[in-house]
Chain A
């Protein structure tokens, strides 16, 4: 009744194998995997500063809300050291360029580091900044009981004698601001690096230096100890919180560019070509997070002022990074031991 099955010849076996293999290759689940929704697992954020710092706090606050929009939580890895270069090298050298890996950097300081330390990666060919989270203006401040009452007093003093200015580090947007101020007014400022904003604040409050430069977010917690003289921003968004401190260009008639300390998300540059839809989703959902009231609530809870939150898209980030590169090269001799221009 049933025919005895014929043994396949070698040729027939090979032919049938190819047919089956091609069928499997075209099987629906292949398309399903490629078309699986992004993201289908956790995202990863590299942070080139130590855990427990301001970037840690900000990234967690942001990602708590962003995770609802993008549909996946974010894991954080911290790689401090070498002014951020360690984190960038690990991100660019070891993390997959698949859109699941992001970096949250202190954009201004990291660009300064990039120019001065000449690392083995290239901006913007290897990575781009695409979403600025905040824009924390740098402010000039003095102790509360200082005889220097205004920024004009400080500049006038600087024209008579060298004024000591405490700063976190020489390669820092605030330091560049003071150098630009010196250039614009003819005042003499002697920048003294303290290796951190907290130490800088302490040095100014205890009177070791006459004034200091720091981000407004750090300074505003100590307004009963310090007086903010001016802000390196054309628009002092936190004027009310800074005791009415004016924007520097408005008072002195100078044209010093805005010099905030801002944090921005960065991504591998080739993700835009390889996975444009993934990048689009990340970009869109991050922008939506800024409009989410939960983000505002969470941000304010950290003690930072909501007015410092300032979304910046790719264009804004690129423009600002370009400005920092230009300024760093301009003041390289004053902020770096290397006098050679990049």
Chain B
């Protein structure tokens, strides 16, 4: 890759800044797309293909990248305000973001999440720009075995979420894993439990499941209440700027938390196929594990919101690493970007940094600028967005159901998916009424297929020898960390108990 000096870097920064007229509209569009469940960057870029194919390559790339980054931030808005994640990566944000809204701290939660999200994205973008050659090597060490262990970190989050009722949590998680096994198997593509529905051949569609479990079930719960915010939380109906500043201050106080959870997102984003949903859940689990007050998670704890938001936005730059450094897209959105660039005759990979450095490095600078513009545009909106929590349910519920049903239809344009959303909506409602955590169910549905794919692949490579799971140094290190994660609550309890025990006479 090219060696840059400060003058060149500054010139490139100013060159990219000249595309502000592309970045700002795409940021605004991305926030809107991210906030609507069912819409995401990939299908928006596909819808706008006639536009991006007609644009200049730099313009189209900066447009797509800015849109992509902004959707991650936008997904957190409904997740916090009405417990409806706009994207899969924001599902974990509901765990502590929504309880904050219920307590009347929606504005603070939004401000905190925006600061965390943009900081997470900025940190990941800068790190990627500076460390790209190193980061691109991560893919050489993380393979199927390591992915199994990383996914298991997410799975044990089920136990953490279900701490108050372990049995129900495990039932929900295992049920989610069972649902996740629906569809063609990894090796032979033989359909399982599809009941003859072709639409289930590729498994349960994630977006309708997410929409049903969170959005529709939440809408059904909302019908039972006048407004989203609780009675105590809604007493102060006039939102003031001080609450936004309070949210910013809460985020700033936790700057170290922001930094390291951003890197969790970045590293997971680099792994092809991993994605924001996995990154946000793993970051949440890690944040809880190392917290001095893990019992506060799930009650509206700031770190519980910061961790998934940082990881969710740290993923963005990470997913572009394999695309830019190797030429292989790490996810669906990156794949569509690659197709647009190939149409323009641009071949991605390490050569791009030599042949068209303005484009190659410009992508990451565009991300930096996108996050800066995001913060400037969305932060002033927190005061008004948070008012959603005091809107009457008789207006909010039909809007949520209408938008989310359209959102469940959008990805594949199958009416079947709308039925899936409704079915999971009813399932989610029953879960909420009977004390089963929908997040535990979702984790099983999302992570189950990934674990199976990677496990089956690892066993296939080793011809069925299970010891392959302990055959790599990095894998064994991750296993050790996993065991520590499992033992940590008891170790902590023992340590605290020992420290609190009265001294022997």
Chain A interface residues toward B at CB < 8 A = 51-54, 56-57, 78, 80-83, 85-86, 89, 116, 162, 164, 169-171, 190, 192-195, 198-199, 201-203, 205-209, 221-222, 224-225, 301-303, 335-338
Contact = CB atoms under 8 A, between A and B. Distances in A.
A221 B327 contact: yes
A135 B375 CA distance: 49
Contact of A190 (B339, B412, B460): B460
Given A52-B335, A85-B198, A193-B187, A209 B461 contact: yes
B198 A208 contact: no
Contacts of A169: 189
Contacts of A170: 187-189
B350 A224 contact: yes
Nearest to B335: A198
Given A57-B343, A192-B461, A337-B190, 10 more contacts: A52-B49, A81-B201, A86-B199, A171-B188, A195-B186, A206-B143, A207-B140, A222-B327, A335-B188, A336-B190
B326 A202 contact: yes
9 contacts: A53-B339, A85-B198, A86-B201, A190-B460, A194-B457, A222-B328, A301-B345, A303-B345, A303-B347
A19 B45 CA distance: 60
Contact of B140 (A85, A162, A206): A206
Contacts, number: 119
A97 B201 CA distance: 27
A302 B343 contact: yes
B463 A190 contact: yes
Given A170-B187, A225-B327, A81 B202 contact: yes
A81 B199 contact: yes
A196 to B, nearest CB: 9
B336 interface: yes
A332 to B, nearest CB: 10
Contacts of B45: 52
A164 B273 CA distance: 21
A78 B185 CA distance: 23
B447 to A, nearest CB: 16
Interface in B461-500: 461, 463
A221 B42 contact: no
Contacts of A52: 42, 45-46, 49, 335-336, 339
Interface string B233-252: 00000000000000000000
Instruction: Pick the most buried of A116, A162, A205, A208: most chain B CB atoms within 10 A of its CB.
Output: A208
A193 B346 CA distance: 29
Instruction: Pick the most buried of B184, B191, B198, B463: most chain A CB atoms within 10 A of its CB.
Output: B198
Contacts of B42: 52
B322 interface: yes
A192 B457 contact: yes
B118 interface: no
Contacts of B413: 78
B461 A201 contact: no
Interface string B192-232: 00000011011000000000000000000000000000000
B453 interface: yes
The 9 closest A-B pairs by CB, nearest first: A82-B201, A337-B190, A337-B188, A303-B342, A208-B143, A52-B46, A52-B336, A206-B140, A202-B328
A335 B193 CA distance: 20
Nearest to B329: A198
B366 to A, nearest CB: 21
Contact of A80 (B343, B348, B412): B412
Contact of B339 (A57, A83, A162, A224): A57
A149 to B, nearest CB: 21
A223 to B, nearest CB: 9
A81 B202 CA distance: 6
Contact of A82 (B185, B202, B335, B460): B202
A338 B322 CA distance: 36
A202 B339 CA distance: 17
A85 B335 CA distance: 23
Contacts of B326: 202, 205, 222, 225
Nearest to A87: B198
A8 to B, nearest CB: 54
Contacts of B37: none
B272 interface: yes
Contacts of A209: 461
A203 B147 CA distance: 13
A141 to B, nearest CB: 13
Interface string B85-104: 00000000000000000000
A338 B335 CA distance: 32
B114 to A, nearest CB: 30
B294 interface: no
Given A198-B272, A222-B328, A303-B347, A83 B189 contact: yes
B431 to A, nearest CB: 28
A297 B327 CA distance: 24
Contacts of A206: 139-140, 143
B40 interface: no
Contact of B349 (A57, A194, A224): A224
B257 interface: no
B168 interface: no
B387 interface: no
A193 B322 CA distance: 20
A89 B42 CA distance: 26
B108 interface: no
Nearest to A202: B328
Interface in B329-379: 329, 335-336, 339, 342-351
B144 interface: yes
A224 B355 CA distance: 14
Nearest to A221: B347
Nearest to B137: A206
A198 B199 contact: no
A29 B188 CA distance: 57
A89 B329 CA distance: 30
Contacts of B144: 208
Contacts of A195: 186, 453
A202 B272 contact: yes
A130 B144 CA distance: 41
Instruction: Pick the most buried of A164, A205, A206: most chain B CB atoms within 10 A of its CB.
Output: A206
Contacts of A51: 46, 49
Nearest to B271: A202
A33 B338 CA distance: 46
B457 A190 contact: no
Nearest to B323: A198
A206 B330 CA distance: 13
B144 to A, nearest CB: 7
B345 A202 contact: no
B190 A81 contact: no
A162 B143 contact: no
A303 to B, nearest CB: 4
Nearest to B342: A303
A192 B144 CA distance: 11
A303 B460 contact: no
B461 A208 contact: yes
A148 B460 CA distance: 22
A207 B144 CA distance: 12
A300 to B, nearest CB: 8
Contacts of A86: 198-199, 201
B190 A82 contact: no
